[in-house]
Structure 1
Amino acid sequence: MDNWDDMRVFLAVARAEGLSGAAPSLKMDPSTLGRRIARLERAVGAALFVKSPQGYALTDLGERMKARAAEAEIHLTHARDEGQCDATALTGQIRIGAPDGAANFLLPQVCAAIQAQNPALEVQILALPRVVNLSRREADMAVTVSPPAAGRLTVQKITDYQLHLAMRADAPPLRCVADLKERQIVGYIPDMIFDKELDYLDVIDADRVQMASNSVAVQLQMIRQSGVGIVHDFALPFAPELRMVLTDAVALARSFYLVRHTSDRRSDRLARFAQALRQGMQEEVARLEYAACLTASPPI
């Protein structure tokens, strides 16, 4: 490769296993990327990818080149971070992957506060209904609801959070969990639950949901229309017409974890951002949960 830009393009296509997947992060269109890869292969004198309608798969040479390019990327990142060690403000781009509950109701406020203190910093929030793949560099770090069991990753617990049943304040009251059988239940699409910690049906003794979505934000909007479902306490201040119900009978606790690639452990820039992110999320969860408790319906 002649320069870092060639390496950056190659790595992005290799990790995304295709041109379309790599295009957004590189801010280039797929046709331009295709020409860049073709030019690179001509310069190398060999194919780096096997192209098919299913995507771009690395050749043996491509695999070896990817390993070397990834090592160089790590060293370049560390070199950039060394230049910031004595700086007071963070700069550059940092992308966070997160489940959509955190991405919708917590990270916008937290990241806005961090960015306000670091005007040259560009923060991106990647909200996905699945676990973000850090090995493919989909993000610099990820918020998860379960600590990963495998991979070259470092994990820090961020904070615990609470969930309760909620429904419209003007709906007929619920006396007990058994009353839920007569109500429209809102929840996840069962075959799209990507983490066991998100499976709440057993808690409310339900075998199905009448209205479902893979998005927490969409579920909240469904409950605002009608029905009842499990809601993050920190989301309730965003839906003032909803109230917690049956709080003595149904109360769940879950945790958020911050996951980073092990190779980034020496990055002062990412470490400083991670610390600010953890502290900000802890404070925002506490603030929003306190606000939600003030509007909880009293136990029956």
Structure 2
Amino acid sequence: MTDASPHWDDLRIFLALARAESLSTAGHVLKKDPATISRRMQRLEQNLGVRLFNRSPQGYLLTEPGQRLLQHADAMEQSFINAEQAVADSPDQLRGSIRIGAPDGCASFLLPQVVEQICQDNPELEVQIVSLPRIFNLSKREADMAIAVSRPQTGRLIVQPLTDYQLSIAVAKTWIAKHGEPLSLEDLKPHRFVGYIPDMIFDSELDYLSEIGINPPRLSSNSVVVQLNWARQGAGPAIVHDFALPFAPELMPVLRQEISLQRTFYLIRHVDDRQVNRLNRFARLLTEGVRAEAARLAKQVAQAYPLEP
């Protein structure tokens, strides 16, 4: 390698900037001053004799040579990851850090107890759960794996069904005391519903109210946890994950025989990670745990609110 050839540290900075498209965001990820990152990329471009980024007020976007370098830098990064795992891996224990991206309903009501059990069995493992109401970009390494409510159609990804789950209309018991228990969906339509902000629904699978013929909600949030807590306060009916109901005793599902929505969570990983044994083992434990926990909570709901024959 000549002095003009890029070293791994240069490529690591290049990768961070290519994924973040922002000096400040890349600096936060790398814990480096943005001015330092800018100088290092200018030096890398001078050494290679090409422009890697188009700089604009919108950020740093890759040029065609930058896109070509990105493919090789990604491959080098994956080789380093594989080498680290080969050295650090243990047949008995999972170690290191794993980041999972998930929608907030799953992140709040399923993952904590599942991940806690995995970590009890693997005390040297560190897990980060990132709860965001959007789709994660694994190509930009925002997470090691992600959970989504629909199967992605593009990208170099490994996708597997994680678990099916049900959603029901739920209202607070105080709401029922005030308005009475509804006997049909028509009984609910005049009332104020709680739901997603329509223009912030990032996946059509989340457009529950439109599916059951309800107009846009008068109380809305991009967070399912906020919606749940609104409903708990008696604000109005909401579509609630059945697996969240055991955590909200103030709520009860209604019209379960008339309205019951089924969805599926998918576990998504980058295709390059299929050779990383540690991530394979964690994905298997996560899948087993989420399925078991979803079934346990569904059983609780079925016992508490049995369907009439």
TM-score (norm 2): 0.88
Which one is further off, 51-60 or 158-167? 51-60
| 2:259 is the counterpart of 1:272 | no
Looking at structure 2, the residues matched to 21 and 242 of structure 1 have their Cα atoms a distance apart, in angstroms, of 41
What's the CA shift string for 1:177-229, capped at 9, x where partnerless? Answer: 10112211111111221212111124432122111111111111111121001
Report the CA distance between 1:299 and its aligned residue: 5.8
| 2:199 is the counterpart of 1:191 | yes
Letter of the 2:147 counterpart: V
CA contact (8 A) 1:84 1:90 kept: no
Which one is further off, 114-123 or 252-261? 114-123
Partner of 1:119: 123
What's the CA shift string for 1:252-275, capped at 9, x where partnerless? Answer: 111111111111111111101111
Looking at structure 2, the residues matched to 40 and 98 of structure 1 have their Cα atoms a distance apart, in angstroms, of 36
Partner of 1:234: 243
| 2:226 is the counterpart of 1:218 | yes
CA contact (8 A) 1:244 1:297 kept: no
Query: SS state of the match for residue 264, structure 2?
Result: strand
Unaligned runs of 5+ in 2: none
Corresponding residue to 1:145 among 145, 149, 152? 149
Query: SS state of the match for residue 98, structure 2?
Result: strand
Looking at structure 2, the residues matched to 23 and 116 of structure 1 have their Cα atoms a distance apart, in angstroms, of 34
Query: SS state of the match for residue 258, structure 2?
Result: coil
Letter of the 2:188 counterpart: L
Partner of 2:91: 87
Unaligned runs of 5+ in 1: none
| 2:9 is the counterpart of 1:5 | yes
Report the CA distance between 1:27 and its aligned residue: 4.0
Looking at structure 2, the residues matched to 39 and 98 of structure 1 have their Cα atoms a distance apart, in angstroms, of 38
Corresponding residue to 1:175 among 183, 195, 198? 183
Which one is further off, 248-257 or 27-36? 27-36
CA contact (8 A) 1:12 1:26 kept: yes
Looking at structure 1, the residues matched to 71 and 94 of structure 2 have their Cα atoms a distance apart, in angstroms, of 28
| Residues 123 and 28 of structure 1, relative CA distance in 2, 3 Å threshold | farther
Looking at structure 1, the residues matched to 12 and 97 of structure 2 have their Cα atoms a distance apart, in angstroms, of 14
What's the CA shift string for 1:43-91, capped at 9, x where partnerless? Answer: 5565432222211112333222211111111111222222245432122
CA contact (8 A) 2:136 2:146 kept: yes
Partner of 1:258: 267
CA contact (8 A) 2:89 2:95 kept: no
Query: SS state of the match for residue 131, structure 1?
Result: coil
CA contact (8 A) 1:245 1:296 kept: no
> What is the number of equivalent residue pairs in this alignment?
300
| 2:291 is the counterpart of 1:282 | yes
Partner of 1:135: 139
Give me the identity figure in percent.
51
CA contact (8 A) 2:210 2:216 kept: no
What's the CA shift string for 1:147-166, capped at 9, x where partnerless? Answer: 11122111111111111010
| Residues 239 and 29 of structure 1, relative CA distance in 2, 3 Å threshold | farther
TM-score (norm 1): 0.91
Looking at structure 1, the residues matched to 124 and 7 of structure 2 have their Cα atoms a distance apart, in angstroms, of 25
Partner of 1:20: 24
Looking at structure 1, the residues matched to 28 and 104 of structure 2 have their Cα atoms a distance apart, in angstroms, of 19
| Residues 22 and 285 of structure 1, relative CA distance in 2, 3 Å threshold | farther
Report the CA distance between 1:39 and its aligned residue: 5.1
| 2:173 is the counterpart of 1:164 | no
Partner of 2:102: 98
Report the CA distance between 1:24 and its aligned residue: 4.2
| Residues 55 and 261 of structure 1, relative CA distance in 2, 3 Å threshold | same
Looking at structure 1, the residues matched to 29 and 255 of structure 2 have their Cα atoms a distance apart, in angstroms, of 45
